[in-house]
Amino acid sequence: MTPSFRHLARESVDRARAELASGDRARLKFAALELRMAIESVTYERAQSYRDEIPQAEYRTWQPKKVMQLLVDIEPRADKGGIIAYGIEEVPGVAAKEMTSLGAEQVFGLRAIKAHYDALGSYLHMPTLKQLEDVGQPDLAKLHDRCLTIIGLLDGVLSSPVFNINFGSFSSIECMNPDCRKTVRRRIPTGQSALSAACLDCGMDYKLSVDADGQCVWRPVLEEVPCPGPSCEVVFKILPGELKAGRRLVCHACGGRFQIGLALFSDEASAVADPATQVQGTP
Ligand SMILES: [Zn+2]
Ligand SMILES: [Zn+2]
């Protein structure tokens, strides 16, 4: 079960507040640690609303800066707040004159993460001898002020009446890889007409073009293999998933019939250069 990151963030902020209130300078580092965890929690929570668009390999990413950058790459407004309001259009397509707001959302965005996350981390290690020589002991008064600033920002994020606003236009197809056939979905940012997408299950790549009416055309990125027929200029376009030994091809131009197979080529030059990678064959 996925944890409630919002709840965990609130708990971390409460503990950080208690550490600051203790007045014990030696406990400031615990406040810094709790606030780092709170920043991680609110960022992971944000990422959850984009989970269908995040490649599996990226799930190992844990630094908030990288996670948020990933979200911004998917949707440029991912680290911005917003207001949700609704109203009845008197004329279809023309914004309603009267709008009712459901509330505003505050996000702990990329700029705040860059400003504070690493700075907190610098207080969680013993200063090196060089740091002690260059700048002396860590400035705990500065850390105290920074913690208060971050708590203020996180309070805003955690008290937002609406959160994880994530609107977008999407286009989806069934993956063209015959061994996959899962749904591939792509967010279509406004004003972009040429996009790329990849199937999160099998990795097959696609190019998308969006016309003026917002209609999407998906084209798979195919492997190009020149026909081996004598003086034939045909280039076979093959789905990456179909490029495997045993697959048969017939060229309609030269009439040649071919079969994809594995081949072994002489590797004398690189074997001499890199003997460590040699694999011995059995006699
Ligand atoms: Zn696929
Ligand atoms: Zn041919």
- So what's the pLDDT on residue 3? 76
**Average pLDDT in the chain:** 88
CA 166 to ligand 2 center in whole angstroms: 50
Dump pLDDT digits (tens) for 251-275: 999 999 999 998 888 887 766 666 5
**E-only strand ranges, the chain:** 82-86, 100-105, 170-174, 183-187, 194-198, 205-210, 216-220, 223-226, 235-238, 248-250, 257-259
Query: Please, which pLDDT band fits residue 277 given cuts at 50, 70 and 90?
Result: low
CA 248 to ligand 2 center in whole angstroms: 13
Dump pLDDT digits (tens) for 175-201: 988 888 999 988 887 777 788 998 888
CB neighbour burial string for 243-276, b if at least 16 within 10 angstroms, e if fewer? eeeeeebeeeeeeeeeebeeeeeeeeeeeeeeee
CA 113 to ligand 1 center in whole angstroms: 34
- Percent of the chain beyond pLDDT 70? 94
Supply 31's token pair.
Answer: 């406040």
Residues contacting residue 32 through CB under 8 Å, at least 6 positions apart: 16, 120, 121, 123, 124, 143, 147
CA 52 to ligand 1 center in whole angstroms: 14
pTM (2 d.p.): 0.74
Dump pLDDT digits (tens) for 87-123: 998 888 888 889 999 889 999 999 999 999 999 998 9
Mean pLDDT of 204-218: 87
